[in-house]
Structure 1
Amino acid sequence: MDNKIPKRNEVPEELTWNLSDIYKTNEDWENDYESAKKEADELQVAEGKFALTADSLYDFLKGYESCISKIYKLYGYAEMKRDQDTADAENQKLYARAQSLDVFISEKLSFVEPEILNLEEGKIEDYYKQNEKLKYFKCLLDEIIRTKEHTLSKEMEMLLASAGDMAESMQNAFSSLAYADLKFPDTHDEKGNVIQLTNGRFVPLQMSENREVRKEAFEKFYERYKSFANTWASLYDGQVKKQIFYAKARKYKSSYEAAVDRNNVSTTVCDNLINCVNKNLDKMHKYVKLRKKLLGYDELHMYDVYASMVSDYKCKVSFEEAKAISLEALKPLGDDYIKVLKEAYDNRWIDVVENEGKRGGAYSSGVYGVHPYVLLNWSDTLDDVFTLVHEMGHSMHTYYSNKAQSFFDSNYKIFVAEVASTTNEVLLLKYLLDKATSDKERAYLINHFLESFKGTLYRQTMFAEFEKESNKMAEEGTPLTADTLSGLYMNLNKKYFGEEMISDPLIAYEWCRIPHFYYNFYVYQYATSFSASVAIADRILKEGQKIVDDYKRFLRSGCTSDPVSLLKIAGVDLSTETPVQEALNVFEEYIELLFVEK
């Protein structure tokens, strides 16, 4: 691990994404910016009359589609520019302008949904008969009608839209503090060298074989977060209050109900997940006991969570090697799938390595009419290979959906967004297990699979419980302070990891660093998607082409039905606990298998 983090302009071009595929010049971005503003002004003129006839509604929605798609494109470009270097003032300015434009246009067009909902019952169906072309917007219109009881008057919708800039302040402040302003003390690597501790380096250091390296990094990292605990609590409290405000304004019973309804999913799905995982915490505790035994410790601490239980096997993977592995592992998904992956690798769809100011973690971002992009922070680990196929799964879902659907119909719900990514991870794991040439390698990979269950199915469900309980606390009048949030988090940590784990006091502050807590009940979908993906990948490998065809039909479906129904195309029913329970049974099987391997 090199001590120096490169500046953005020091990163080789081939390891950066090519955002000029979206806008070749700043002038092109400015032209679209002005064009979107102009289109919004022109659309606003139609207020009160755009839905009077089938033809006028169709013509209006075509212009509406053009305007909104420009906003997505402008915003996506600006967000990626910001994330590649969050300390760059020009990038920050561009992103702020995109946010402001989004709010401006939301205000201008806030009359659209209320006016459509004011049409008498059955009018839209009559319009479809009068103008067949209007069915192009059927999914959009169906979604508007579905949320009728939560849509307000034109004046109230405009008021809520005008609060958009303010509403994003907590998330923006979190990103600036966590990724640009927060500086960590130096720590030591396995060779005793002094190195700079960063968000990007924290997890790789936690994977070190040297326990003292892990302990030092853990304590310095979380002490730094703890020193700003009151600030993090204020930010999160503001985020929760925002969610509660919007939920109340839209006549939901709770912020939880409002969040899941946004994806056209019942609260039952998340409740099923939490209930099922809680009924199976014995399996997680069994895993923790196995970890303690294989590591050979009298006490297991939170800084031992990422250490490999199979420490005598080395696995370092370069980005070039990872690309080659991914192309082989994902072959079961077909030649067309592999062809697009190669295009992504050859044409700079991916921003690969960490640089100063770069956003931590990884993500995929879709730009309709262009192609998806992926942000990584590569560190040559096996985890990075899994992250690559995970994010490319997102990108391929976006690619297939964008190619098959119109702009509005392509925008699949967040609930299904993690399915394609985690299906890729399971396919990679099974490929690597099949290719393993030694018992040590097999044990190492089984360890990784168990880590996926621990990190995704259990950890993300724990996060979901934290969100659900903290929102409930706020709704019941309990102040969300650093103490109350840390106490809640510590209790959940003890429950999930069990008595065999020492829940070190500093782990109580882990909630401070989780960006997904600003995404409004996002995380539970990682766990439901992981459960679905275990089943889908297994069927792909066992049943072949028919299942691959069904799976791709799911990928191409965008938001043309509700998420639970779409997943049924791929053979998974998340309205029940069955997929979660079956995945947890697989987890237990692999725990037993690792006992045998070792």
Structure 2
Amino acid sequence: MQDRLPKRSEVANELTWRLEDIYENEADFDKELEETLSIADEIRKLEGKLSESAKTLLEALKLYERAALLMSRFRGYAHMRHDEDTSNSKYQGMDQKSVSAMVSFGEKTSFVEPEILQISDDKLDSFYKEEPELKHFELKIKEIRRLKDHILSKEMEQLIASAGEMQQTAANGFSMLSNADLKFPSVKDSEGKEVTLSNGRFVPTEMSKDRELRKRAFEAFYGRYEEFKNTWATLYDGEVKARIFNAKARKYNSNFEAAVDENNVDPAVCDRLIDSIHKGFDKMHRYVALRKKLLGVDELHMYDVYVSMIKDFDMEVSYEEAKEISLKALAPLGEDYLEIVKQAYDNRWIDVVENEGKRSGAYSSGAYGVHPYMLLNYNNTLEDVFTLVHEMGHSMHTWYSDHEQSIFDSEYKIFVAEVASTTNEVLLYHYLKNHAKTKEEKAYIINHFLESFKSTMYRQTMFEEFERKTNTMAEEGIPLTAESLYDVYYNLNKEYFGEDMISDKEIGWEWCRIPHFYYNFYVYQYATSFAASVAIASRILKEGAPAVEQYKNFLKSGCTKDPVSLLKIAGVDLTTSQPIDEAIEVFGEALTEMEELYK
């Protein structure tokens, strides 16, 4: 770990993404943004006429598709430029300009969905016969009509579209405060050496073998968040109130119902997840007890959560080594899969290392018709190798979907978005465990799987409960204050980790730093996806080619079916609790394997 973060200009070119694949120069960004606004004006001329003829409807949808392609490009370009260095005012402006353009487009074209809803089924059938090209948009039209009960009048849709930019304020405020403005103090390790904290460096610091450093970093990091507790609470309250406005306007009973319906998922899927996780608390608490034993501590604290349970073994993996490992681990998916992965590595699809002002975390993004991109903050840890294959899974899902489907049909729902990424992680886990050279290395890999399972199945479900509880509070008129949010989060943490964990007071402020709480009930899908991925990876390793083919058919399917039906293509049925329960059993088996290694 370097003493200081490099400036963006100091990062080696080969470790940065090549956004020139989208636009060779920024004039092209402006050109396509303006073209989008012109298309919006062209579509607007058709207002009141979409039900008149098949030709008019087709014309409108063709224009809309062109605009969607352009918006994918300029929005992707702007937000990725912004995320390279969130303190760069030029790219802040570009990011805001792209959002404003999309809001303007939404306002001018807000009549489209209400008018499509007004077309009778018989008339729509005749339109398909008159203009066979309309079949290209059939899935898009069906998705619009699926939500018929929640689409409003043209005037109301225009009003909601106009509010869209304003409703991003809370999330934007969180991002700017967390990534650009919030500065963390340095802390001293047990030898008195100064260690600089940042959002990107916090977890790697908490993985340190130096317990005194972990404790000081933990207290300083969350202490800094606590200093702004009322600001974080206000931002989160603003996010929740925006959701309440939208849910009520669209005639939903709750924010949660609105969020899952947008993804075409039955709320019972999430309910089954929470029920199964609660029934599996015994294994989570067993994991905590094992961690306490292997670390050899009298008291297990929250700053002991990230450090490896294998005290005398560590793995440092360079980025070049990580790329080689990933190719071997993903080999069961076939040469065609690996060839695209190699393109990502060779052609700068990835922004690799942390720099001053860079957005924390990792993601996969991009632009339709170009290729996916990945943002990392690589720090040479085993966790970073898993993050690399995770984001590569997202990118490969996008690549296959974009190459097989139109822009509208390629947009897979968030519910299945984490499946490909986590399948890659599970394949990596099996590869590393099977190729471990020593007992310690094998235990280290199992430790990582246990940590990933804890973080994904249990932690993300805990996040989901926090969102559901706090959204319900707001819907019932209970104020979301710093203290009330603290209490909900702290009590959930105690319940999930159990009696063998000391829930330090600072952990109650962890909710302040979680960006996913601004993603509108995104997090439970990490857990359902993890369960699905455990099943898919197991089938791939046991059955080989037939399972791989089914899996790739899933990757290629975009949003051509509802998410639960898409997973059935890959052999997973989430209409039952079986995949969740079986995943928890796999967690128990890994625990047993670790316990056997350290009897």
Q: Which residue of 1 aligns with 2:248?
A: 248
For 1:192 and 1:323, locate their aligned partners in 2 and report how far apart those are by CA, in whole Å.
35
User: How many residues matched?
Assistant: 598
| CA deviation map 1:186-233 (0-9, x unaligned) | 113465421221001100000001110100000000000000000000
For 2:68 and 2:403, locate their aligned partners in 1 and report how far apart those are by CA, in whole Å.
18
For 1:191 and 1:79, locate their aligned partners in 2 and report how far apart those are by CA, in whole Å.
41
Any conservation in 2 of the 1:354–1:378 contact (CA below 8 Å)?
yes
TM-score by length of 2: 0.99
1:157-172 aligned at under 5 Å gives the runs 157-172=157-172
Q: Does 1:299 align with 2:288?
A: no
Q: Does 1:370 align with 2:370?
A: yes
Q: Which residue of 2 aligns with 1:435?
A: 435
Q: Which residue of 1 aligns with 2:16?
A: 16
Q: Does 1:592 align with 2:561?
A: no
Return the offset for 1:55: 2.2
Return the offset for 1:468: 0.4
Q: Which residue of 2 aligns with 1:115?
A: 115
For 2:241 and 2:310, locate their aligned partners in 1 and report how far apart those are by CA, in whole Å.
44
Q: CA RMSD in A?
A: 0.8
Q: Which residue of 2 aligns with 1:399?
A: 399
Any conservation in 2 of the 1:18–1:348 contact (CA below 8 Å)?
yes
1:111-510 aligned at under 5 Å gives the runs 111-189=111-189, 192-510=192-510
Q: Which residue of 2 aligns with 1:39?
A: 39
Which residue identity lines up with residue 568 of structure 1 in the other structure?
K
Which residue identity lines up with residue 425 of structure 2 in the other structure?
E
Which residue identity lines up with residue 528 of structure 2 in the other structure?
T
Return the offset for 1:82: 0.5
Return the offset for 1:356: 0.3
For 1:283 and 1:123, locate their aligned partners in 2 and report how far apart those are by CA, in whole Å.
57
SS at match of 1:365: strand
| CA deviation map 1:82-103 (0-9, x unaligned) | 1010000001000000010011
For 1:596 and 1:99, locate their aligned partners in 2 and report how far apart those are by CA, in whole Å.
54
For 2:164 and 2:123, locate their aligned partners in 1 and report how far apart those are by CA, in whole Å.
32
1:52-131 aligned at under 5 Å gives the runs 52-131=52-131
Any conservation in 1 of the 2:46–2:56 contact (CA below 8 Å)?
no
For 1:184 and 1:298, locate their aligned partners in 2 and report how far apart those are by CA, in whole Å.
30
SS at match of 1:590: helix
SS at match of 1:122: helix
For 1:534 and 1:212, locate their aligned partners in 2 and report how far apart those are by CA, in whole Å.
36
1:567-582 aligned at under 5 Å gives the runs 567-582=567-582
Q: Residues 353 and 548 (structure 1 numbering): CA distance in 2 closer, same or farther, change over 3 Å?
A: same
Which residue identity lines up with residue 412 of structure 1 in the other structure?
Y
For 1:192 and 1:559, locate their aligned partners in 2 and report how far apart those are by CA, in whole Å.
54
For 1:568 and 1:188, locate their aligned partners in 2 and report how far apart those are by CA, in whole Å.
52
For 1:38 and 1:593, locate their aligned partners in 2 and report how far apart those are by CA, in whole Å.
62
Q: Residues 129 and 177 (structure 1 numbering): CA distance in 2 closer, same or farther, change over 3 Å?
A: same
Which residue identity lines up with residue 238 of structure 2 in the other structure?
G
Which residue identity lines up with residue 447 of structure 2 in the other structure?
N
Q: Residues 43 and 360 (structure 1 numbering): CA distance in 2 closer, same or farther, change over 3 Å?
A: same
For 1:562 and 1:328, locate their aligned partners in 2 and report how far apart those are by CA, in whole Å.
33
For 1:89 and 1:51, locate their aligned partners in 2 and report how far apart those are by CA, in whole Å.
45
Any conservation in 1 of the 2:110–2:157 contact (CA below 8 Å)?
yes
Q: Which residue of 1 aligns with 2:559?
A: 559
Q: Does 1:533 align with 2:533?
A: yes
The runs of 5 or more residues in structure 2 that have no matched partner are none
SS at match of 2:408: helix
For 2:387 and 2:212, locate their aligned partners in 1 and report how far apart those are by CA, in whole Å.
27
Any conservation in 2 of the 1:16–1:348 contact (CA below 8 Å)?
yes
For 1:22 and 1:527, locate their aligned partners in 2 and report how far apart those are by CA, in whole Å.
33
Return the offset for 1:366: 2.9
For 1:549 and 1:266, locate their aligned partners in 2 and report how far apart those are by CA, in whole Å.
27
For 1:41 and 1:249, locate their aligned partners in 2 and report how far apart those are by CA, in whole Å.
26
SS at match of 2:418: helix
The runs of 5 or more residues in structure 1 that have no matched partner are none
Return the offset for 1:126: 2.3
SS at match of 1:560: coil
For 2:46 and 2:189, locate their aligned partners in 1 and report how far apart those are by CA, in whole Å.
63
Range with greater deviation from structure 2 (132-141 or 216-225): 132-141
Any conservation in 2 of the 1:189–1:205 contact (CA below 8 Å)?
no
For 1:278 and 1:479, locate their aligned partners in 2 and report how far apart those are by CA, in whole Å.
27
| CA deviation map 1:322-376 (0-9, x unaligned) | 0000001000001010000000000100000000000000000031000000000
For 1:121 and 1:489, locate their aligned partners in 2 and report how far apart those are by CA, in whole Å.
48
Any conservation in 2 of the 1:354–1:377 contact (CA below 8 Å)?
yes
Q: Which runs of 4+ in 1 moved over 3 A?
A: 189-192
SS at match of 1:374: strand
SS at match of 1:168: helix
Return the offset for 1:469: 0.5
TM-score by length of 1: 0.99
Any conservation in 1 of the 2:186–2:197 contact (CA below 8 Å)?
yes
For 1:559 and 1:127, locate their aligned partners in 2 and report how far apart those are by CA, in whole Å.
23
For 2:297 and 2:192, locate their aligned partners in 1 and report how far apart those are by CA, in whole Å.
23
Any conservation in 1 of the 2:326–2:428 contact (CA below 8 Å)?
yes
Any conservation in 2 of the 1:75–1:95 contact (CA below 8 Å)?
yes
For 2:446 and 2:192, locate their aligned partners in 1 and report how far apart those are by CA, in whole Å.
30
Return the offset for 1:130: 2.3
SS at match of 1:348: coil
Any conservation in 2 of the 1:190–1:208 contact (CA below 8 Å)?
no
For 1:417 and 1:307, locate their aligned partners in 2 and report how far apart those are by CA, in whole Å.
28
